[in-house]
Structure 1
Amino acid sequence: MSDLHALLGGTFDPIHFGHLRPVMALAQQTGLTRVTLLPNNVPPHRPQPEASATQRVDMLRCAIEQQPLFEIDTRELQRDTPSWTVATLEALRAECGEQQPLGFIIGQDSLLTLAKWHRWQDLLSLCHLLVCQRPGYPTEMETPAMQQWLDQHITHDLRQLHQQPAGCIWLADTPLYTISATEIRQRLHQNLSCDALLPAAVIAYINRVGLYRD
């Protein structure tokens, strides 16, 4: 099997176990050996992260220091325009060639609202979608047409993910974590412990630079 290369985008404000642990479980399930974290640039009309782009990348570095599975790609932070997933995937596809299997990791909540994404119909021509479960979300798509689209592309055959460059949807049986970055920031503002929610090295960094403090 060739090396399926997977990507995970996010604001990562801060990165936490709700990001890392489902992806590690997904990697074990699917034979992933490389996951690239893509911190998003947040466009001006959206709520801005509390941490700067540099701080968010520093926290990613702290989180993955002992995790050879992960690497970081900061290309979306170099742009002043919105981070359209499809544009990033087109750039990566141009770099890695037509035959490299690429997977884009999303949560179940994102799958259910995929029809709202910019040029969502192009995604499966560029990558596979690797979907992690999310607590409390339904498994049915919003419309019969979207459900039919999902049913057409779902695969239960791991070989397809590794042998085809794109085109499949894999519904992963990953652990459910109800952790949110918003909750973590609120807890930190209240000086409450977050030891169980994010890696110790990230907490040490947050404390060192005084992030998420009132």
Structure 2
Amino acid sequence: MKIGVFGGTFDPIHIGHIISVLEVKIAFGLDRVIFIPARQSPHKETMPTGNEERTAMIQKAIAGYEGFSMDTFELDRYGKSFTYDTAKYLKDEYPDDELYFLMGTDQYESFDKWYRNEELIDMMNFIVMMRHSDDMEISAPFIRADQLVVEVSASLVRRRAKEGLPYKHFLNEAVYEYIKENALYEA
């Protein structure tokens, strides 16, 4: 089985995440994609919204998509989330499957700084999801994905919510309702 792995803080998960991942799943014939929310990215200083809120939003966003699931491995640990630790865990969980880590160009550009990055190359395949604004060459063993992109960011959603500006169109309806019901990001 070919399994995609998509990690991030997902604070909040938005339609840009879902559309890009779904398009990569189709283009590369992935059987499954596992969304893995991070407790805290090693590359970000601020802590995200609570784990319970983010997992609830992910569950709502991926509901109804065949082959989409979530694993809370990184949330169940303490400290920063390193892809190496997650890859080791996934290799143990799915020893007979082929793993594909889905990443953005920002992650690709900083990969040389990742913890145990050379070992990661032996553990997983890496698909680099391009944005429309990206104009760069992707070197092997990384695989370039020119999937459909909706240019949305979680920071834009949070900023719009805080400023009282419209942001519903960036989210799955159930995620939007959850944010409103729980007054997330409003101040």
TM range (shorter): over 0.9
Structure 2: where are the runs of 5+ without partners?
Answer: none
Structure 1 residues 127-138: aligned runs within 5 Å: 127-138=124-135
3-state SS of paired residue (1:77): coil
Equivalent residue for 1:160? none
Q: 1:126 aligns with which of 123, 131, 135?
A: 123
- 8 A Cα contact 2:9 2:41, kept in partner: no
Equivalent residue for 1:184? 157
Structure 1 residues 45-64: aligned runs within 5 Å: 46-49=45-48, 51-64=49-62
Deviation at 1:209, TM superposition (A): 1.1
Partners of 1:73 and 1:5 in 2: CA distance: 13
Runs of 4+ in 1 over 6 A off after TM superposition: none
Question: Are 1:174 and 2:157 an aligned pair?
Answer: no
Partners of 1:182 and 1:110 in 2: CA distance: 17
3-state SS of paired residue (2:4): strand
Structure 1 residues 71-110: aligned runs within 5 Å: 71-97=69-95, 99-110=96-107
Q: Could you give the per-residue CA deviations for residues 68-101 of structure 1, whole angstroms, max 9, x where no partner exists?
A: 231010010111121110111011112221x421
Counterpart of 2:46, as a letter, is P
Deviation at 1:136, TM superposition (A): 2.6
Query: Alpha carbons of 1:37 and 1:43: their partners in 2 closer, same or farther (altered >3 Å)?
Result: closer
- 8 A Cα contact 1:43 1:80, kept in partner: no
Equivalent residue for 2:112? 115
- The alignment of Structure 1 onto Structure 2 pairs a total of residues equal to 186
Partners of 2:4 and 2:104 in 1: CA distance: 14
Query: Alpha carbons of 1:131 and 1:204: their partners in 2 closer, same or farther (altered >3 Å)?
Result: same
Equivalent residue for 2:174? 201
Counterpart of 2:4, as a letter, is A
RMSD: 1.7
Partners of 2:145 and 2:134 in 1: CA distance: 14
Structure 1: where are the runs of 5+ without partners?
Answer: 142-149, 154-168
Q: Which has the larger radius of gyration?
A: 1
Partners of 2:146 and 2:32 in 1: CA distance: 19
